[in-house]
Copies of this chain bind each other. A is one copy, B any other.
């Protein structure tokens, strides 16, 4: 493999593991057992490495979210979108972690990311539309669909940050893709009230497969497992 590609690969790996902020160009070079001079021969600066990684990420997600217009949407399609997006998120997870700082440092990135967000929001919206057409969810006004899409985006892009901040003991490194994909449960939660009777059960079953195995404990709820047989779900205490 070319040195240039090795630099990109190692950077991605180190950024994902330790956060961009904690990985210096010297670290990257040391990790590859090459000299800093060598690294800077291939990249003008650190920003250029990050920018190139972003472009890979962008290309990946754009590919995943290319909604075919010829046929109607199935549940399998929907789950594929979700799985794919979370895979992308996982492979370039450093990016959303330090997003604001990165955008502040690189105007190209800020501008590209803005467009990227717009494309993703449009794709999510389109997915909702096609689910309506397919009779998976009830049709909704454009404005509501738009607001829902934005909420979906917020959940997707920030689920990882939640996981990393919500675990007191665990350090950032110990996150697994399995845990990350529990975000799919949260995304599907948004869709739950709109499901048509015809699809409701199927989607609920699919959703259940992503339910966090160890749910975030709300105080006073440590008994939820032993309470499993209790049918009092009226919610009135």
A contact set with B: CB distance below 8 Å: 19, 21, 97-101, 103-104, 110-111, 113-115, 117-119, 121-122, 125, 128-129, 132-133, 139-151, 153-155, 157-159, 161-162, 164-168, 171-172, 185-186, 189-190, 192-194, 215-221, 224, 233-237
The verdict on A235 contacting B158 (CB below 8 Å), with A151-B151, A168-B110, A186-B150 known, is no
Contacts of A154 in B (CB 8 A): 154-155, 158-159, 162, 186
Contacts of A220 in B (CB 8 A): 122
Contacts of A142 in B (CB 8 A): 224, 233, 235
From B100, B149, B151, B235, A97 is in contact (CB under 8 Å) with: B100
Contacts of A217 in B (CB 8 A): 118
- Chain copies in the assembled complex: 2
How far is A183 from B111 in the complex, measured between Cα atoms in Å? Answer: 22
Contacts of A157 in B (CB 8 A): 158, 162
Contacts of A110 in B (CB 8 A): 165, 168
Q: Does B235 lie within 8 Å of A171, measured CB to CB?
A: no
From B125, B139, B235, A218 is in contact (CB under 8 Å) with: B125
From B21, B111, B128, B144, A189 is in contact (CB under 8 Å) with: B144
From B165, B194, B236, A113 is in contact (CB under 8 Å) with: B165
Q: Does A165 lie within 8 Å of B114, measured CB to CB?
A: yes
- Shortest C-beta distance, A105 to chain B (Å), equals 10
Q: Does A132 lie within 8 Å of B97, measured CB to CB?
A: no
Among A159, A185, A215, A233, residue most surrounded by chain B Cβ atoms (within 10 Å): A233
